Amino acid sequence: MNNNYFFKKKKIILFFIITIFIIIGIYFFYKKIFLSSSEEKALKELIYAQKYLSQGVIDKAINNKKKYKNTYLGFSGIITKYPYTKAGNIAKFYASICYYKLGNYKESIKIMNTFYAKDEILSSIKYGIIGDSLTQMNNKKEALKNYLKAANIKENEITTPLYYYKAALLAFYLKKYQDSKFFFKKIKKKYPLFLYKDNVDKYLMFIENKL
């Protein structure tokens, strides 16, 4: 009886192990064959949608109303049809920008929050766009938090001074003059080649008189 019991138990364990290997095998087969095929299709659709975006035809680029579903997907369709591809992820970034351009700030934030940015510059821009949307929605305190997050992800000459500048302007608008001064000073000291450096000096002079 005992031998029979252990024999049955061993069969169950063996069956369980074989099942796991089958599942793993299916996963890698799916990843190698189906996902790569999906990635290729999604990338073609992404390039097509990007052309419309570069031309400034936002409605066609995002295709959120599925007007052209028989001919192309647009960013919205790519997100729906190929959600687990790299192209599908990038489509979220573009779709968020499109919604921002169309004035649909809530949708822009919603989609941008689902975008995964491995690159630190893109990650910085992600929170910058969210900050821009929140500013447009008059939620300036939350916008300020996102601008600071965007500025501090990784220090660089492009996004760091830009988002410190936006944070400084917003703090100034909120009459947080000490904070605004701190951000402007940071730009002046560390980023002397910043595009809006003349404005930085003007605001600093105004704040000094104000304080």
Range in 38-47, 108-117, 158-167, 183-192 the model is least confident about: 38-47
Return all residues near 58 (Cβ < 8 A) that are at least 6 apart.
Answer: 52, 98, 101, 102
State whether the Cα torsion 125-130-135-136 is positive or negative: positive
Show me where the domains of the chain are located: 1-116, 118-211
pTM comes to 0.80
* pLDDT higher than threshold 50 for residue 20: no
Give tens-digit pLDDT for 27-73.
Answer: 444 455 445 678 888 888 988 998 998 899 999 999 876 665 567 89
Give tens-digit pLDDT for 110-150.
Answer: 999 999 988 888 999 999 999 999 999 999 999 999 999 99
Domain 118-211: assigned CATH number: 1.25.40.10
Number of other CB atoms surrounding residue 127 within 10 Å: 23
Whole-number pLDDT of residue 177? 94
What integer best gives the mean pLDDT of the chain?
A: 84
Residue that is written with structure tokens 């990635």 in the block: 39
